[in-house]
Structure 1
Amino acid sequence: MTHMVKFSSIALAVLLAGVSGMALAQDKPVLTIYTYDGFASDWGPGVPLKAGFEANCECSVNFIAADSSIGTLRRAQLEGESTEADILLGLDTAIAGEARATGLFADHGLDLSHLVLPEPWTDAQFVPFDYSHFAFMHDTDNMPVPPASFEELIALPDSVKIAIQDPRSATPGLGLLLWVKAAYGERAPEIWAGLKPKILTITREWSESYSLFLEGEADMVLSYTTSPAYHIHDEDDHTIKAALFTEGHFPQIEVAGILKSSDQQELARDFLAFLASPEGQQHIPTTNWMFPVVDLGDKLDPAFAGLPQPEKTLTLPEEEITANSAAWIDEMLAAVQ
C-alpha cells in the first residue's frame, strides 16, 4: 500500500510539473498573424522576421497562411470578432480600401515618417512593408526587344502569348486591372479587347502563370519590376527582364494592419514597428523579392541596385478603387472572355 501512495505522489508531482510547464507556456503571449503562403513559407520573410522579433519580445509569433492575401481578408471577415488573428499581413493598397470599410482594423499609432515609398505614406491604419511596380517579364533570349506600351503589345502578332492572373483571386491580377484603368480610363475595355488574342491563360494565382513563362509556354507574364532580382541573385541569370511601358506603371504596396478584436494590441503594434524598421526590412528584399520601404543603403542586395524602374508611377484614389473595382472586374472579364 505504501508503494501505491509513493507512486501516486510521484505521479502527482510529475503531473503538477507538467501543469506548471503548460502554465508557463501559456503565460507567453502568442501573436497570431494571417498572411499569404509565400510569406510564411520556409524561404519567405516570415522565418527571419519571427526569429528577429521573438529574440526581444518574450512572445511567440504564429503565422497562419492562406493561398492569397485576398483569402486572408475573406477569412477574417467570416470569423469577425471571434478571429484569432491579431494582424493581417500582405494586403495591398488595391484592397486596403475594401479592408478599411470592414471596420475590422485599429489605428496603428506609429510614426512612419522614415519610410521611402513612391508616394508619401499617411495611412493611419495600414503599415507598408514592401513595394514594387507591376510589369510584364520577358526573356531576352526569346524576345530581345519587348513592347514599350500596352498598345505596342497589342500590335504584336497574335502568336505572342501572355499569362496573367485573375483579379478576383490574385493581387497582381487586380493590379493589372488598375494599371490599365489608371493609364487608359474609359478606353480600358478597348485595351482588354486588344489584349484578348494574346492571353494564353488567366491563372488563379501568380505562381501558376509565372511557371508557364519559365517553361516557355508564355512569352511574357505579369509580375513585378523587382522579379528579375530573384533570377540574378539565386540563379545568376540576367536574361529575364521587366518591360518598361511609356504609360507608366501601377505600384503594389503591401501592408499590414492590426485587428480591433485583438487582445494583443501593444504587441501587435511592436511587431509592425519592427516590420517597418531597418532591422526588419533587411529581411524583405531577398525573401519576398520586393523593394524595402526604408533606405537600406549598401545593405540592399546588389541584385536590386541596377534594376530599371518606371519613370512614372500611376495611381488611383482609394475611394475610386473601392467604389468601382467590382464593375471594372466585370468590364475586364466581359472583354477577354
Structure 2
Amino acid sequence: MRPTPFSALMFAGCLSAAQAAAADKPVLTVYTYDSFVSDWGPGPAVERAFEADCGCDLKFVATGDGAALLSRLLLEGGQTEADVVLGLDTSLIAAARASGLFAPRPETPVRFALPVDWTDPTFLPYDWGWFAFVYDRTKIDTVPADFEALAASDLSLLIEDPRSSTPGLGLLLWIKAAYGDRAAEIWKDLADNIVTVTPGWSEAYGMFLEGEADMVLSYTTSPAYHLIAEGDDSKAAAPFAEGHYLQVEVAGKVKSSKHAALADRFLAFMTTDAFQNVLPETNWMYPAVTPSGGLPKGFETLIRPEKSLLFSPEDAAGLRDGALAEWQTALSR
C-alpha cells in the first residue's frame, strides 16, 4: 500500500525527531586497543550495558595495541577527542602521568582484587594477568622451564614489538626483572628463536594459531579461552622458574574531556559487575574487582606463578630506553 501524503509526512516527522534525539545524546569517546573492541572482545557487551543506563552514545576507538594507544594520545595532546583512555598498564603510567593529559579519577568504594596494593589517584585498574609463553601441548614434548632453557632450545617464538605493544614492553621488563645486568645476554641468546615481531598481540596470537611458530608471548590466562570457548585443552602456558611479570591494565579520564561527569560515570561503571563479569570470558584476564559470580569454571586449571615480578611505574619508565636498546641490538644482528 502506498503511503498517503499525510502518513509520509508523519513518518518523516518521526524520523527527524528520532534523529534529533540521537543527536542530542552526548558521545563518550573511549580510546582502547584493537582486541577490546573486536566482536569477541568486551567492547560490544560493555557498550550495550553502559548505554542502557547512561542516555549516551558510547564510542570506542581502536588505536592498535596499548603502547600505540599512548603514542596516539601524546601526539594529539589537548586536541584529542578521547574522553577516557582504556588499555594502558603499569609500564606506561609514569609517561602518561608526565604528559599532564589526565585528570584524577573518581573515588571508588570497591576493594580491588589485585596481587598488589593500588593507591594511584589517577588511573583505575580494571583487569590483570601474568605474561607467559603459550604453546600447544600436542606439539611440544619438552617445555623450557626458564628463559635460558628457552634460548637454548630450537623452539620458534612470536613476540610483540615493545614500541607499540604492552605485552612486548612487558617482555622487556620481565627479562630485566629476572636477569638484571644479564638481560642483554639473554636477548642475544633468544634472538635466533624469534621468527617474527608483530605490532600487537592480536597479530602474534593469530599467527601462532595458524602454526607460524611453536610459542607466542601472551598470558597465563590465554589457555582458558581455548578450554572454555572451544572445549580445547591443548593450549598451555609455560611456567618459568624466574617468575612471571605482572600486568595491571588501567583506564584514565582525559583532562580535556568535554564530558567529564560522564567519563567519571563510566570509570565508576567499570568497577561494577556489569563490566567486571564480562572480562574473564572476553578479555581473558583476571578482573580487578571480584565479580559476584566468581571466575568461570576452567580458570582453576591455569598455572599460578609462584613469583610475581613487577617494577614500579617510575622504575619501569627509567628502565625502558635501556631495555629497548638491548632488545634492538640483539635482534639487529
- TM over 0.5, shorter chain: yes
Shift of 1:13: 9.5
Is structure 2 residue 98 aligned with structure 1 residue 101? yes
- Residue of structure 1 in register with 2:63 after alignment: 66
Matched, 1:45 2:42: yes
CA distance in 2, matches of 1:283, 1:91: 19
AA in 1 matched with 2:214 = D
1:257-296 to structure 2, matched below 5 A, reads 257-296=252-291
Aligned to 2:79: 82
1:227 aligned partner = 222
Q: 2:178 aligns with which of 165, 180, 183?
A: 183
Offset from partner CA, 1:192-245 (integer Å, 9 cap, x none)? 111112112222222332233223331111110000001101221111100011
Task: Provide the rounded CA distance (Å) in 2 between the counterparts of 1:139 and 1:100.
Answer: 39
1:287 aligned counterpart, secondary structure = coil
Cα distance between partner residues in 2 of 1:22 and 1:298:
39
Counterpart residue number, 2:23 = 26
1:134 maps to a residue whose letter is F
Mapped to 2, the partners of 1:12 and 1:137 lie a distance apart of 61
Q: Alignment partner of 1:255: what SS?
A: strand
AA of the residue aligned to 1:265: A
Say whether residues 1:134 and 2:164 are aligned partners: no
Secondary structure of the 2:216 match is strand
- Name the SS for the 1:253 alignment partner: strand
Q: State whether residues 110 and 289 of structure 2, in contact with CA within 8 Å, keep that contact through their aligned partners in structure 1.
A: no
Offset at 1:91?
1.1
Larger helix proportion, structure 1 or 2? Answer: 1
TM-score relative to the length of structure 2: 0.91
Partner Cα separation in structure 2 for residue 109 and residue 66 of structure 1: 25
- TM-score (norm: length of structure 1): 0.90
- 1:4 aligns with none
**Aligned pair in 2 of structure 1 residues 270, 193: CA closer, same or farther (>3 Å)?**
same
Separation in structure 2 between the aligned mates of residue 150 and residue 327 of structure 1, nearest angstrom: 19
Amino acid across the alignment from 1:50? E
- 2:82 is paired with a residue whose SS is coil
State how far apart, in whole Å, the 2-side matches of 1:162 and 1:112 are.
42
Please name the residue that 2:308 is paired with: 313
Superposed displacement of residue 248, structure 1 = 0.7
Of 206, 227, 231, which aligns to 1:211?
206
Q: State the shift of 1:177 in Å.
A: 0.3
CA distance in 1, matches of 2:88, 2:319: 18
Residue 89 of structure 2: aligned partner: 92
Which residue type is aligned with residue 106 of structure 1? A
The answer to whether structure 1 residue 35 and structure 2 residue 32 are counterparts is yes
Identity of aligned residues (%): 48
Cα 1:94–1:22 shift into 2, 3 Å: same
Q: Say which one has the larger Rg.
A: 1
Matched residue count: 328
Looking at structure 2, the residues matched to 108 and 77 of structure 1 have their Cα atoms a distance apart, in angstroms, of: 19
Matching residue's letter, 1:195: L
Residues 334/54 of structure 1: CA separation in 2 closer, same or farther (3 Å cut): same
Mark the runs of 5 or more structure 1 residues left unpaired by the alignment: 1-6
Counterpart residue number, 1:3: none
1:111-126 matches, within 5 Å, as 111=108, 113-126=110-123
Gaps of 5+ in 2: none
CA contact (8 A) 1:113 1:121 kept: no
